[in-house]
């Protein structure tokens, strides 16, 4: 996904979050990435310690799917998390 596509996606997400959600609210992030310690550590650093992490490894162990639940105060906080996730090579944010 190129930068323009990412920004369009984030703009659409922001509009949806403003329209459909009251704040603060618990938000659920979903990420998929290669199962290596470096990438996992980079993903963990996006979120504060109090976030709840749920990991699931693929059947062959090549990938890990992570669900993160966090209390977010505004749509802008969510958008910032997505930007940080997009910056990590190999990470797909759903």
- Residue 46 CA to its chain's centroid (Å): 8
Q: Domain residues of the chain, as ranges?
A: 3-93
Per-residue model confidence (pLDDT) at position 7 = 86
Q: What is the pLDDT along the chain (94 residues), one digit of tens a residue?
A: 678 888 888 889 899 988 888 999 999 999 999 999 999 999 999 999 999 999 999 999 999 999 999 999 999 999 999 999 999 999 998 8
Q: DSSP string covering 4-49, please?
A: HHHHHHHHHHHHHHHHH--SSEEEEEEEEEES-HHHHHHHHHHS-T
In CATH, the architecture of 3-93 is: 2-Layer Sandwich (3.30)
Per-residue model confidence (pLDDT) at position 45 = 95
Q: What is the pTM of this model?
A: 0.86
Per-residue model confidence (pLDDT) at position 65 = 96
Per-residue model confidence (pLDDT) at position 8 = 86
């Amino acid at each position: 996904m190129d930068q323009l596509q990412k920004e369009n996606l984030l703009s659409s997400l922001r509009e949806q979050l403003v329209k459909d959600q009251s704040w603060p609210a618990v938000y659920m992030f979903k990420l998929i990435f290669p199962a290596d310690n470096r990438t996992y550590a980079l993903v963990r650093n996006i979120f504060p310690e109090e976030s709840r992490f749920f990991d699931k490894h693929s059947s062959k162990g090549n990938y890990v799917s992570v669900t993160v639940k966090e209390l977010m105060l505004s749509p802008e906080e969510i958008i910032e998390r997505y930007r940080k996730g997009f910056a990590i090579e190999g990470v797909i944010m759903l």
